[in-house]
Structure 1
Amino acid sequence: MASQNGNREEFVEGWTLAQTLGEGAYGEVKLLLNRQTGEAVAMKMVDTRKHPDASASVKKEVCIQKFLQHPHILRYFGTRRQNEIEYIFLEYAAGGELFDRIEPDVGMSVDDAKCFFNQLMDGVNYLHNKGVAHRDLKPENLLLDEHDNLKISDFGMATMFRIKGRERLLDKRCGTLPYVAPEILIRPYSATAADIWSCGVILVAMLSGELPWDEPSLGCAEFVKWKSDISWMTITPWSKVETLALSLLRKILEPDSRKRITVKDIIEHKWCRAKLSENKRNNVEMPRAKRFRSNDYSRGDNPVNLTQPTPQIVQQKDDNSNDNTNNDQRSDFCFSQPTLMEDLILCTQMNPTQSTQNPFHRLVKRMTRFSVTTPSDDTIKRIIDTVSSMGYVWKTTDTNILTISTVDRRKIQLVFKINLIEMSENVLVDFRLSKGDGIEFKRRFIQIKKSLADIIGKEQHFW
């Protein structure tokens, strides 16, 4: 590391570590910027000294991602290992996460949902044709580029289910409970059918702003009603969804995996093929073939070290394991990719002549932020009072950064960070999900924002 500038560090000559994008079970994700060209890369850092079991997981993830080339799959650029630290270089998703576009209890416009869903199915179709099952599809793992094209990310749970034309059933219980298919809780299961089910739950979330059930089991009343009771049509989320979309969801969320609709038939369904508004036509733009050379990172000096502790992950066995441990939830932090306002300042300074439509003006796009008129210290006190009254646990992890911990209604841990950034005339209050469900996170954000309404500035900009 050649130099430091605040929290911005020089990784190698010409490349700056501008910001931490997210945390994972084994490390961090950093935004890597080329100061001259303005090119951006997401870099996962995995410290195998702290997590010896991470090496096999990283090797499997890289093995799968390195041969995937599709406009709706987050692109893999390369990997490097130095001094027990694994670096994985990935396409930077400038538009943020899909969950950030989902308004709690509302969802999004049908046009937007249709556009994102068609792109998701295009990507899933490609994965399945390659013999790859993702096994953890959810809005937190779906990112957007600067043109709002969807990118499937986080292949930490992915596996090959077809090799040399021969398919196998899977029996590893993994994924996130509200999104997993019912057969995963029983096992063994079809890889393709399980991924398709998860896509159906994602579509429900996009169209309604809520999840249909906590888990697809007989112990969940909402799922039982969907499975066997006609009265489900009169309750949310189904009452918010138009008839044609419901007809598709009934085929996708078919409890019997043998009867579940295929990806091919989903793509041909009338709802998916219905014409979009002119401004929502799919405008896929492939990333440039070459962002950087992997040799750019072959320096002999010490690499950047992780500076934050990472949580423990629940160990999971291979698909053929006889272990019956409940592994339906990963005890880790999502590798999300929003950044902070200071990155915009940095990028603007790097190349001030670029058009206002360039990707750097989209790097910081996120709906979970607002500006306030009170100084940072006063704002922090207000936030602490608010989250304390809500029963949340908080701690300061850095200057002007609060980490908030709670549980959602499913008793699943929810962790998010609040970063206060002092601007020229006000203070930007930036929220970022670290762990848990994105929709539940946005519910908490809305509650906190309402409690601070008297100090929020009149003009709000989310980019």
Structure 2
Amino acid sequence: MAADFVEGWLLGQTLGEGAFGEVKLVINNATGEAVAMKMIDLRKYTDAALSVKKETAIQRSLRHPNVLQYYGKRSHANFEYIFLEYCSGGELFDRIEPDLGMAVKDARRYFRQLLSGVEYLHSRGVAHRDIKPENLLLDQYDNIKISDFGMATMFRFKGVERLLDRRCGTLPYVAPEVLKEPYRASPADLWSCGIVLVTMLSGVLPWDQPSSKCKNYEDWCIGGVLGSNGPWKTMTAGVLGLLTGILADDPQNRSALERVQSHPWMSTQSSDDIDYGSNLEEFSISLSQPLPSGDHTASLIAHETDDREMTCFSQPIACDDLLLASQMNLTQSASQGVFQKLVKRMTRFFVGCEYAQATERLTAVLRSMIQCQWKISQTRGITVTTTDNRKMQLIYKVNFIDMDGKLLVDFRLSKGCGLEFKRRFVQIKKSLADVIIQGSCN
């Protein structure tokens, strides 16, 4: 595609990948306003057309501060383009430290926002059906945005609720009744929210799947591990009481969303809350992402057209760790300064060596990892394919970017579990510690 995608709008960096294609950054040449654009190749994904139609039909009616905003859709040749709100804060999973979690106050705030968004969806008769940290984005103000409605469906219309029977979602996050069919939408989504809270507080998933095949889940059901083993050992009685209601095996005994929102743990900073997770830095940098508003967005659619450095290896330790320049095919007359973006992401670092040496060092680390394959591209990137602890596929990409005389090594998850991706990143970062530049905030 040409860089000038729509007159006055330029095609930027890849933000992520979905089931049917990539998500790209599109930026207004004059104002710097940014929009995320899903690109779906209908020739490559022949079954995507119906999915896109259903997803956009649901999203176009949604308006809520904690739900990703839909702007419109454009069809061109064999491609479908969906325009969405751009979230410069990255993904929620990036804020979760493996085996540690995050600060309790942050987990509580994110959880409140998640429930607010889910409550709104359910009030509109929409079930998300794939709530997990990878589908929860953060805007420039660090607020939750529920995204990816590829598995969403309407479960209530004109006051009449129907049972759902499609088995979908991500196994560690799905409710047990989803594996048994049929099931009610609201309790199933709420269960997934509860698993997200567990991962935020502990940095681990409580089980691989909610079935008799998994001992950890069976132990939870009989109440034999509360407060003692697994992710529960670092949690207070207050949050354990909350989770017991959310993660009740029988959906009829599960707490309703309204009851969860009114639980004491949700509204107060309890004296026995202990931050087992890492304390994220206070970001004093002013993000350059403008609010998506006004005539510019409309014109696009009109074409329809603390001191834990030694353990929290993936947290930023300098301002430079937050920088990422949009890699764009700019016209010679365009000002590159307009397109400089600051993004809160933890999975990157600067190295004090040239590209060739950095690639050699990284591939040596990858070679030492079990069941790890990689491919080096001609555009200074490496695609890594491996499997996680659940034997599920894990794919991530590493890009090498020259910035201010230094080399930025940027890691981005393409497919798989965010927590497992972060674990791999931590391992790699520790192995490259001798060439990583620390504390250079110029």
Same-fold call, TM cutoff 0.5: yes
Q: Aligned partners of 1:457, 1:276: CA distance in 2, in Å?
A: 39
Aligned to 1:225: 219
* Aligned amino acid, residue 112 of structure 1: D
Residues 357-400 of structure 1 show CA distances to partners (whole Å, capped at 9, x for unaligned) of xx9653x2210000111110111011111101113111113321
- Is residue 342 of structure 1 aligned with residue 342 of structure 2? no
Give the TM-score normalised by the residue count of structure 1: 0.83
Q: Is the 8 A contact 2:36 2:86 kept in 1?
A: yes
User: 186, 190, 208: which is aligned to 1:196?
Assistant: 190
* Aligned amino acid, residue 408 of structure 1: D
Q: Is the 8 A contact 1:193 1:257 kept in 2?
A: yes
Q: Is the 8 A contact 1:141 1:153 kept in 2?
A: yes
- Is residue 180 of structure 1 aligned with residue 174 of structure 2? yes
Which deviates more, 398-407 or 253-262?
398-407
Q: Is the 8 A contact 1:372 1:455 kept in 2?
A: yes
Aligned to 2:344: 365
SS in 2 for 1:217: coil
Q: 1:429 to 1:297 in 2, by over 3 A?
A: farther
Q: Is the 8 A contact 1:102 1:206 kept in 2?
A: yes
Give the share of equivalent positions with the same residue, in percent.
53
Aligned to 1:273: 267
User: 113, 122, 129: which is aligned to 1:128?
Assistant: 122
Aligned to 1:303: none
- Is residue 41 of structure 1 aligned with residue 35 of structure 2? yes
Give the TM-score normalised by the residue count of structure 2: 0.87
Aligned to 2:287: none
Aligned to 2:202: 208
Aligned to 2:297: 292
Q: Aligned partners of 1:36, 1:157: CA distance in 2, in Å?
A: 36
Residues 258-302 of structure 1 show CA distances to partners (whole Å, capped at 9, x for unaligned) of 11011111111111111599x99xxxx9863655125666389xx
Please state how far the C-alpha of 1:93 moved relative to its aligned partner. Answer: 0.6
User: 121, 137, 140: which is aligned to 1:143?
Assistant: 137
Which deviates more, 96-105 or 290-299?
290-299
* Aligned amino acid, residue 30 of structure 2: Q
Q: Is the 8 A contact 1:200 1:252 kept in 2?
A: yes
Aligned to 1:421: 401
Which residues in structure 2 correspond to 1:44-55 (within 5 Å)? 44-55=38-49
Q: Is the 8 A contact 2:164 2:185 kept in 1?
A: yes
Q: Aligned partners of 1:231, 1:108: CA distance in 2, in Å?
A: 22
Q: Aligned partners of 2:207, 2:256: CA distance in 1, in Å?
A: 22
Aligned to 2:74: 80
CA-atom RMSD, angstroms? 2.6
Q: Is the 8 A contact 2:33 2:292 kept in 1?
A: no
Q: Which runs of 5+ in 1 are unaligned?
A: 3-8, 301-338
Q: Which runs of 5+ in 2 are unaligned?
A: 272-280, 283-289, 306-321
SS in 2 for 1:151: strand
Residues 134-155 of structure 1 show CA distances to partners (whole Å, capped at 9, x for unaligned) of 0000000000000001000000
Q: Is the 8 A contact 1:71 1:286 kept in 2?
A: no
Q: Aligned partners of 1:286, 1:430: CA distance in 2, in Å?
A: 25
Please state how far the C-alpha of 1:344 moved relative to its aligned partner. Answer: 8.7
